[in-house]
Amino acid sequence: MKRFDKPIFVTRPYLPPLEEFKRGLEEVWSNQWLTNNGPMLQRFQKELSRYLGVPETNLALFNNGTLALELGYYAMGLSGGDVITTPFTFVATSHALKRIGANPVFADIDPATMCLSPEAAEKLITPRTKAIVPVHVYGNVCDVKGFERLGEKYGVKIIYDAAHAFGVFGKFESLKVSEFESSKSGVTEPRNTQSTRKSIGCCGDMSMFSFHPTKLFHSCEGGLLVFKDAKVQEKLFELRNFAIHSELSCTDVGSNAKMNELQALMGLECLKKIDELLDYRQKIYDVYADGFADCADITLVPYSQNKAYVPVLFKDYATRERVYKELIDKYNVYSRRYFYPLLTDFAPYAYAKGSCPVAEDLASRVLTLPTYYGLQLEDVKAIAENVKEIVSHPAN
């Protein structure tokens, strides 16, 4: 068994070569423009448009994912309404709802994907429901067809928290993504090759990607909204800049959610590497999969396409807790219990405590293991061995 000299964290951000970053900094210096829709931000938006295959008119960048969600929810008119969402996520998903005066209503998750279940969500729809907010948790794709059906049947908005799902593409044939295709005129050849492949961000009315450093792709901090209706863009651009419309008019109660030029530069530099970052995550995942293949008590959650996280399920809460603690104490490995406790165990959402038994069970047994570009594959193997050792020797 290997005890690591230096701590192994659940993730580390990719950092681009410093010399290349410095070249970008020189450009920022000569522009003397640091924030508020500067040239780096515009370039980043263009490159994201190419990568995702989404027109620039249907994107908006923010200084972090949480404010992107908050302003996105607000622009979609969710204030004052009920919004059905999952308790198995990071607090930002529903904090952003609360902060705009919407009421999160929690429905249970699908045990296979660990994402919100459309069947469970449908049972909670009432005339007060304005939207459903599923989360592509760990990069696992939600039942997007199921949610599309609910959106059409009940006339509610479908807004995805895709914080973990950058780099996830699919065919999504049944979805009405024609709007994205027909308005592509301003976009040069998308970098993702086949035209049938769509970014997961094309599903629903709106999706949010987080560019926090704990994500596989980042811009120091940052968030991106992708939306179906290009008319929302102007509203979002205003909202992220205090809702200032012109020198003489302010149209709404906006916020300061502008991405700055250094963030955009980091995003641009990381985007150059995205294919390699994704490939490396897959390699890490495969090493864990090999390592756990002979261990019936450890289930690697298999659904994520981008392998943003490596979630494993243990047979019970006690085992998960033991693995979490012993990995630190014996081996210097800091895994994370994403997403435990459930949101419904936190004070602001305790009104729904106990309402989602599937999520409760999975949250009590899940652990996410280290994965990041630069984590050596032999170290991944050693971590898997350490986990197996802990599981197989409960008395130690």
Check residue 55 for interaction with ligand T4K (CB under 6 A): no
Size of the site for ligand T4K (CB under 6 A): 24
Check residue 13 for interaction with ligand T4K (CB under 6 A): yes
DSSP characters over 344-377: GGSGGGGGGTTS-HHHHHHHHHEEEEP--TT--H
Nearer to ligand T4K by Cβ, of 164 and 184: the residue is 164
- The interface with ligand T4K within residues 326-345 (CB under 6 A) comprises 334, 336, 338
Q: Which of 161, 238, 261, 269 binds ligand T4K (CB under 6 A)?
A: 161
Distance (Å, rounded) from C-alpha 264 to C-alpha 188?
Answer: 20
Distance (Å, rounded) from C-alpha 259 to C-alpha 265?
Answer: 10
By DSSP bridging, strand 206-210 and strand 223-227 are: antiparallel
- The interface with ligand T4K within residues 131-160 (CB under 6 A) comprises 135
Rounded to a whole number of angstroms, the minimum distance from the CB of residue 319 to ligand T4K is: 22
Check residue 11 for interaction with ligand T4K (CB under 6 A): yes
Rounded to a whole number of angstroms, the minimum distance from the CB of residue 278 to ligand T4K is: 18
Distance (Å, rounded) from C-alpha 285 to C-alpha 325?
Answer: 22
Q: Which of 66, 86, 129, 306 binds ligand T4K (CB under 6 A)?
A: 66
Decide: 189 and 242 in contact? Cβ < 8 Å: no
Please choose, out of 9-17, 116-124, 259-267, 269-277, the segment that lies near ligand T4K by the rule CB under 6 A: 9-17
Q: Which of 64, 219, 233, 306 binds ligand T4K (CB under 6 A)?
A: 64
Rounded to a whole number of angstroms, the minimum distance from the CB of residue 230 to ligand T4K is: 24
Check residue 113 for interaction with ligand T4K (CB under 6 A): no
Check residue 255 for interaction with ligand T4K (CB under 6 A): no
Nearer to ligand T4K by Cβ, of 13 and 16: the residue is 13
Rounded to a whole number of angstroms, the minimum distance from the CB of residue 74 to ligand T4K is: 16
Nearer to ligand T4K by Cβ, of 57 and 335: the residue is 335
Check residue 63 for interaction with ligand T4K (CB under 6 A): no
Residue corresponding to tokens 């165990």: 345
Distance (Å, rounded) from C-alpha 181 to C-alpha 68?
Answer: 24
Nearer to ligand T4K by Cβ, of 57 and 372: the residue is 372
Q: Burial-class residue 149 by CB neighbours within 10 Å (0-12, 13-18, 19+).
A: middle
DSSP H helices in the chain: 18-31, 39-52, 65-75, 92-99, 118-123, 144-154, 178-182, 232-239, 261-271, 274-292, 317-331, 357-365, 377-392
Rounded to a whole number of angstroms, the minimum distance from the CB of residue 95 to ligand T4K is: 9
**Residue (of 330, 389, 334, 345) closest to 367 by Cα position:** 334
Check residue 368 for interaction with ligand T4K (CB under 6 A): no
Nearer to ligand T4K by Cβ, of 28 and 257: the residue is 257
Nearer to ligand T4K by Cβ, of 64 and 386: the residue is 64
Q: Which of 81, 223, 254, 267 binds ligand T4K (CB under 6 A)?
A: 223
Report whether the peptide linkage leading into residue 339 is cis, meaning its omega lies within 30 degrees of zero: yes
Rounded to a whole number of angstroms, the minimum distance from the CB of residue 33 to ligand T4K is: 24
Find the residue with minimal CB distance to ligand T4K. 65
Check residue 390 for interaction with ligand T4K (CB under 6 A): no
Distance (Å, rounded) from C-alpha 195 to C-alpha 180?
Answer: 11
Distance (Å, rounded) from C-alpha 203 to C-alpha 185?
Answer: 20
Q: Which of 14, 90, 138, 180 binds ligand T4K (CB under 6 A)?
A: 90
Distance (Å, rounded) from C-alpha 9 to C-alpha 198?
Answer: 32
Please choose, out of 5-13, 47-55, 187-195, 227-235, the segment that lies near ligand T4K by the rule CB under 6 A: 5-13
Distance (Å, rounded) from C-alpha 365 to C-alpha 342?
Answer: 12
Q: Can you read off the two tokens belonging to residue 27? A: 């450009």
Q: Radius of gyration over alpha carbons of the chain, in Å?
A: 21
Q: What amino acid occupies position 217?
A: F
Nearer to ligand T4K by Cβ, of 161 and 184: the residue is 161
By DSSP bridging, strand 129-133 and strand 82-85 are: parallel
Nearer to ligand T4K by Cβ, of 187 and 264: the residue is 264
Binding site for ligand T4K (CB under 6 A): 9-13, 64-66, 89-90, 92-93, 135, 161, 163-164, 210, 212-214, 223, 334, 336, 338
